[in-house]
Amino acid sequence: MEKSLNTKEVKIKFKDPKVYEKFNHIEVGDWIDLRTIDVVTLKKGQFRKVDLGVAMELPAGYEALLVPRSSTFKNYGVLQANSMAVVDNSFKGDDDYWSFLVLATEDVTIPKGARICQFRIMKNQPKINFKVVDKLDNDNRGGMGSTGTM
C-alpha cells in the first residue's frame, strides 16, 4: 500500500493484542476508538484510571486528544474525570500506557474490550505572541453561551 505525503507513522504497542485485533482508523470520521483491557467494576461515586492497554510514539510536533465516545455515558454511566485528556508526544516510553480517567455516576461493570473512549492526533499549537491592547476592533457576539439566543 502506498503512503500519501500526509500520512504519519505512529508506533504502537499493545498490552493485550487480542483486545485490539481490529485496531484501525474508523471509516467515517477522524477519531479512533480505544478499549478497556480488563473488566472494570465501579461503585457510584468511585474514580478510576481505566487501563487502555496502548502505548504510542506520536510523531514529532503532534499530540493526541482523548475523549469519551458519544455512547460512553449512556452505556456505562461514567464521565471522563478530566473532561478531555491531552497526551503529548513526550509520553512515549515503553511502559507509558494510556488510561482513561472516569467517575461513575452509578454502580457499573464495564466488560473487557469495551470501546469506552476515542482519540485523534493533532498538530501542536504553534508558538504564539500575545499583544496587549485596550480595544478589540470587532462586533460583540453577546457573551459566552449566547449562540442561538435572541
Enzyme catalytic residues: 88
CB proximity list for 30: less than 8 A, separation 6 or greater: 120
Q: d(Cα 108, Cα 44) in Å, to the nearest integer?
A: 8
The rounded distance, in Å, linking the Cα atoms of 81 and 102 is: 5
Spatial distance between the Cα atoms of 49 and 64, rounded to a whole number of angstroms:
18
Report d(CA 106, CA 77) in Å as an integer. Answer: 6
| Cβ-based neighbours of 59, under 8 Å, separated by 6 or more | 8, 9, 10, 89, 121
